[in-house]
Amino acid sequence: MVNLGHAQETQSRDKIKSLWLAAEKNDVTTIQKLIRENVNLEATDSKQRTALMISTHHQNNEAAKVLIAAGANVNALDDMHDSPFLYAGASGYTQIVRDCLEHGTDFKVFNRYNGTALIPACERGHVETVKELLKRKDFPIDHVNRLGWTALLEAIILSNGGPAHVQIVQLLVDAGCNVTIADKEGISPLAHARKKGFTHIVSILEKAGAK
């Protein structure tokens, strides 16, 4: 006698594994087929990654878009405390960030540093991603992470002060960030910029009224 329960469980597990592989390979056709078969989009692998997280890791924009449109959770956290949205923001995957923003992104879900997607995007010089995030007027632009740094502070402290970071500082200022929020030692963004010799950033901050 066939154990239908066990057979169904095995079939379901096989479908989930196929979904993870399709997400990794950007195999949209297979993903769409499995979605029609009601595969569990939120099933997680050994690293607590959903199919959407796997596709995000590989910057598979097409796969991610299909999964997000089908209702995949853009805020689901993996074992590194990254969500698809947070990881895409930190990595500069602007298309995935855009798709996440259109499908229920929760700005109160933070990464392992208790930070937003904007903070590492600014640190790493992902100009286009920063622009996309700043389009949202409700984004917590002045959020302070566990290190005591805002997006503005990370764009200065952890950067080389090059053109991308100069542009990001200007974008943050134009979006209305608070230029006076200091780090845990009470050192202001302007003081950090002066210490590092970032003359263009110093000029931007001074014009914005930084002290």
pLDDT score, position 165: 98
Task: With H, G, I as helix, E, B as strand and everything else as coil, classify residue 155.
Answer: helix
Mean pLDDT of 113-125: 98
Alpha-carbon distance values, 76 to 86, 90, 103 (Å): 10, 16, 13
Q: How far is CA 14 from CA 10, 43, 184, in A?
A: 6, 12, 50
Mean pLDDT of the chain: 95
Residues 6+ apart with CB under 8 A from 176: 141
- With beta carbons less than 8 A apart as the criterion, state whether 90 and 111 touch: yes
Question: Could you tell me the pTM of the whole model?
Answer: 0.94
Query: Is pLDDT above 50 for 2?
Result: no
Give the Å distances, CA to CA, from 85 to 15, 70, 76, 77, 156. Answer: 25, 16, 9, 10, 23
Q: Is the domain 127-211 a CATH 2.60.120.10 member?
A: no
Whether CATH 1.10.10.60 fits 1-109: no
Mean pLDDT of the region 185-204: 98
pLDDT above 70 for 7: no
Phi-psi region of 15 (alpha: psi -120 to 50; beta: other; left: phi over 0): alpha
Residue 211: what pLDDT? 87
pLDDT tens-digit map of 44-75: 999 999 999 999 999 999 999 999 999 999 99
pLDDT tens-digit readout, 131-174: 999 999 999 999 999 999 999 999 999 999 999 999 999 999 99
Indicate if the pLDDT at residue 197 is higher than 70.
yes
Return the pLDDT at 98: 98
In the block, which residue shows the tokens 């590492």? 120
pLDDT in tens, 84-116: 999 999 999 999 999 999 999 999 999 999 999
In this structure, the dihedral spanned by the alpha carbons of residues 57, 137, 154 and 150, taken in order and rounded to 10 degrees, is: -120
Q: What residues does each domain of the chain span?
A: 1-109, 127-211
